[in-house]
Amino acid sequence: METLTAPPMTEYDLSEVDIPSEQIPIEERNDVTVDELERLSLPYPAELYNGKVVYKMANFDHALIQSNVHGAIFIHLKSHPIGYAVEEANFRLWNDRPKESRIPDVSFVAKERVPKDKHRFLAMAPDLAVEIVSEDDSYNKIMAKVKAYLQQGTQVVWVIFASTQEVLVCTAAGKHYVDIDEVLTAPDVLPDFALPVKEIFDGLDA
């Protein structure tokens, strides 16, 4: 009696299969453009790094610091209406890099610089950018982001360290730390604005 055997299974290299991008989960792609990101309804704010979606997912302490800083600038702008402060707005920092975007935790843009079309990610750098360092953030990655802001026209970047309760103030001219007993200012961007550093961390020890 003849014995029948199954034919050997063929292994396929899926990397060579042409799968349409829209059928691949967005988190697994590295070809996402800013234009496409604008059209998506993602569950969290997301930056683009060379076409790769990177979500910004804040814990409560991070969100509290963010609210404290944004709230202080927002109140200041009520009596000094020179521009707009927002949280987690996406910016196209580079006109020639369609797969890159950045989201400061808080940003300020002077009124005269805001374009008429605010429905899209702004193709510019903010005047002031605020980055809050989380426990899992890489210092080098944060500083690369700071460098990008400054190179593209941001005048001041505040890097906030919850672990040490201090702020690194970065400008094109240099960097310096402002500690818990000092006052944070940005006279060239926010005239007459003053924020005691300790108020940035209100609620963290509650």
pLDDT for residue 205: 81
pLDDT for residue 131: 98
Give the residue ranges of the chain where pLDDT is below 70.
Answer: 1-22, 206
CATH number for the segment(s) 60-200: 3.90.1570.10
pLDDT for residue 21: 64
Pairwise CA distance, residues 47 & 19, whole Å: 24
Pairwise CA distance, residues 92 & 71, whole Å: 24
Domain boundaries for CATH 3.90.1570.10 within the chain? 60-200
pLDDT for residue 4: 45
The pTM of this model reads 0.86
pLDDT for residue 10: 47
pLDDT for residue 197: 98
pLDDT for residue 24: 82
Complete DSSP assignment for the chain: -PPP-PPPPPP--GGGS---GGGS-GGG-S---HHHHHH---SS-EEEETTEEEE----HHHHHHHHHHHHHHHHHHHHS-SEEEEES--B---TT-TT-BB--SEEEEEGGG--S--SS-BSS--SEEEEEEPTT--HHHHHHHHHHHHHTT-SEEEEEETTTTEEEEEETTEEEEE-TTSEEEETTTEEEEEEEHHHHTTTTT-
